[in-house]
Amino acid sequence: MSPTGEGLRERRRRETRQEIHAAALRLARRHGFDKVTIEMISTEAGVSPRTFFNYFPNKEAAAVFGPRELSSEAAAAFVAAGPARPGEVLRDLTRLLLRQLAESPPERRDMHDIFALAHEHPGVLAAMLAQFDTFRTGVAATVAERMGRQPDDEVPNLIASVALTAVRTGLERWSRDEPVDGEDSPVPYVERSVALLHTLLAP
């Protein structure tokens, strides 16, 4: 096991998934998304189409791929901190998400292209929304576990939704901005979205 609690097999799977995703984006830039086929993506990534389907159901899902879950170690530490007021749980969750984003930030250009593809292709948008929702459901389950509540309970679901709304909004703004020298992290953008959310709901 590596320090992040990830076995070799898991790491290989993660790398292959990432390579297929990168290949899908590269080909979409080169030929336009409509012209890209699963065969082309597989060849570009050096895998068989059969392997492709072990990772993604279609090219839309391959194009939008992003994190689908919290790292298992971070989630375990978060749960172990135990019950707290909802506002505190939300603050801890936001910190965890920001740390995860700082440790493995996406490429700005990739995020830009993913949001642009989602804007143009309803199928890509659907895949992106489905992926966000899978992530949200998993985060809500982790929050529920920490709070000793059911996964479908309203409070953990609101906490997860609010935190991920900030992440999505921050990432979207970051992806549209022009890169500034020496400062190319999405973290300040998501931090600003979190601060804005607090302003919104302040009494």
Only segment of 6-14, 21-29, 46-54, 127-135 that touches a second copy (CB under 8 A): 127-135
Alpha helices in the chain (DSSP H): 8-31, 38-45, 49-55, 59-64, 72-80, 86-103, 108-120, 122-147, 154-176, 187-201
The Cα–Cα gap between 161 and 138 comes to: 11
26 or 173: CB nearest a second copy: 173
Cα→Cα distances 186→19, 100, 141, Å: 22, 11, 25
Member of 90, 98, 101, 117 binding a second copy (CB under 8 A) = 90
Q: Which is nearer to a second copy, 76 or 196 (CB)?
A: 196
Asked if 149 touches a second copy (CB under 8 A), the answer is no
Give the nearest distance from C-beta 76 to a second copy in angstroms.
Answer: 23
- Whole-angstrom Cα distance, residue 40 to residue 62? 12
CA 5 centroid distance within chain: 19
Q: Which is nearer to a second copy, 97 or 127 (CB)?
A: 127
| Gap between the Cα atoms of 147 and 30, Å rounded | 47
Name which of residues 27 to 86 contact a second copy (CB under 8 A): 86
Contact stretch for a second copy (CB under 8 A) within 19-27, 37-45, 63-71, 190-198 = 190-198
Distance CA 137, CA 156 (A): 10
Rule CB under 8 A: is residue 125 a binding residue for a second copy? yes
Footprint on this chain of a second copy (rule: CB under 8 A) = 86-87, 90, 122, 125-127, 129-130, 133, 152, 154-155, 157-159, 161-162, 165-166, 168-169, 172-173, 176, 192-193, 196-203
